[in-house]
């Protein structure tokens, strides 16, 4: 029988020989809990604080941090070796400015309709992520660093745990889909953050802020948190755009196709397999499959082998080569739009690929030069 436990204090309880399969824990405190002799197959933990979490003696939070650093090297570059060293703090914030500038340039070149498209009903669009960054910079600067009660920007987007909090009732009361307005608000707040940083001393970086912030504790750690938080939502905005990028949009009676550049630099929207798939041209797909059977001496190749919705599509339908592509796998892991956006561009793996497809290098070089 399904039971609901709500607003109960079960601290210190012992659950022995209890079936908890398919249960949901939401807004619960499981700190310092111990689980022994349990079946945790397919257990999912989402949106949880896991500091100190151990499984079989291994610190899971540390393993996850190491893996996230490997996937996105910018995390390491935006980490302060010492949040109380003024020059170290300023160096990280200057690099954050570079990341932000690249991100804003990319947003300005993106279809406005794509910016406001949600990947799912319960997920933020790219623009909502930017509006949340407006709120965050406002919060970090005015509430935590300056500790004033200046009215907060009405453009912002609150995180779910602050929804309904009377102290933030004005946040989000004047939403907008205009990118220029949102970026201007974000840039204005960030300029004020730099004005604050310009007057800091090493002693001020150690000032206790624990009565105001959400766990950072000092001025230096607030600034570290700002850099890390910005990167998280920049990556979330980029991921939202990738998931929502329209492959085909209808404008009046005319079919307009947006250019899709694969991680490797191949233009998917120029590929015969992609074009035939989107047009559902079975005759052309069969002709491409026959050509592949002949060129690669592989009689087992079928139409499904050449069908493709494009490298960046969330669809599972990829041509056989793209589905197994190690360059694509690397790009997905790093969370970049394509390899031109990677801090390690161009790596040896990509250079070897360019030797086979020089046109791909021309595409990526052009994108990289514009960043």
Query: What are the structural domains, with CATH classification, of the chain?
Result: 1-70 (no CATH), 79-244 (1.20.120.450), 251-370 (no CATH)
Per-residue pLDDT of 225-255, as tens digits, reads 999 999 999 999 998 888 776 433 433 333 3
For 54, the 3-state DSSP assignment is strand
User: pLDDT, tens digit, for every residue of 52-83?
Assistant: 889 888 998 899 888 888 888 899 999 999 99
Mean pLDDT, to the nearest integer, of 81-99?
96
Q: Are strands 54-55 and 254-257 parallel, antiparallel or unpaired?
A: unpaired
Q: What are phi and psi of 251, to 5 degrees?
A: -120, 105
Give the list of residues 6+ apart from residue 128 with CB closer than 8 angstroms, or none: 116, 118, 157
Give the integer Cα–Cα distance in Å for 239 and 126.
8
Whether residue 196 contacts residue 147, with contact meaning beta carbons closer than 8 Å, is answered with no
3-state helix, strand, coil in the chain (%, to 5): 50, 5, 45
Beta bridge partners of 55: 58
CA dist 227 and 79 (Å) reads 8
pLDDT tens readout for residues 129-159: 999 999 999 999 999 999 998 999 999 999 9
- pLDDT-derived band of residue 310, with 50, 70 and 90 as boundaries? confident
């Amino acid at each position: 029988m399904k039971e609901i436990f709500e607003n109960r204090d079960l601290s210190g309880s012992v659950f022995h020989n209890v079936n908890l399969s398919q249960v949901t824990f939401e807004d619960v405190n499981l700190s310092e809990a111990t689980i022994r002799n349990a079946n945790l197959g397919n257990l999912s933990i989402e949106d949880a604080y896991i500091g100190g979490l151990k499984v079989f003696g291994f610190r899971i939070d540390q393993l996850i941090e190491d893996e996230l650093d490997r996937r996105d090297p910018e995390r390491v570059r935006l980490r302060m070796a010492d949040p109380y060293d003024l020059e170290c703090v300023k160096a990280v914030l200057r690099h954050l400015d570079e990341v932000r500038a690249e991100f804003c340039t990319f947003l300005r070149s993106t279809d406005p309709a794509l910016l406001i498209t949600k990947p799912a009903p319960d997920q933020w669009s790219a623009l909502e992520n930017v509006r949340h960054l407006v709120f965050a910079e406002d919060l970090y600067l005015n509430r935590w660093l300056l500790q004033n009660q200046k009215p907060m920007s009405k453009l912002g987007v609150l995180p779910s745990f602050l929804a309904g909090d009377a102290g933030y009732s004005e946040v989000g009361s004047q939403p907008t889909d205009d990118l220029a307005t949102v970026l201007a608000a974000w840039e204005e707040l960030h300029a004020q953050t730099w004005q604050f940083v310009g007057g800091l001393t090493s002693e001020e970086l150690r000032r206790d802020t624990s009565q105001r912030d959400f766990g950072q504790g000092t001025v230096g750690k607030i600034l570290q948190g700002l850099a890390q938080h910005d990167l998280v939502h920049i990556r979330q905005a980029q991921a939202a755009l990738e998931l929502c990028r329209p492959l085909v949009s209808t404008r009046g009676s005319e079919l307009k196709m947006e250019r899709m550049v694969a991680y490797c630099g191949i233009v998917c929207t120029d590929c015969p397999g992609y074009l035939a798939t989107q047009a559902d041209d079975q005759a052309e797909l069969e002709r491409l499959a026959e050509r592949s059977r002949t060129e690669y001496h592989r009689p087992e190749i079928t139409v499904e082998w050449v069908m493709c919705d494009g490298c960046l599509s969330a669809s599972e339908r990829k041509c056989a080569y793209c589905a197994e592509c190690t360059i694509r796998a690397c790009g997905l892991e790093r969370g970049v739009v394509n390899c031109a956006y990677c801090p390690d561009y161009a790596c040896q793996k990509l250079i070897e690929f360019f030797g086979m497809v020089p046109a791909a290098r021309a595409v990526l070089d052009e994108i990289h030069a514009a960043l």
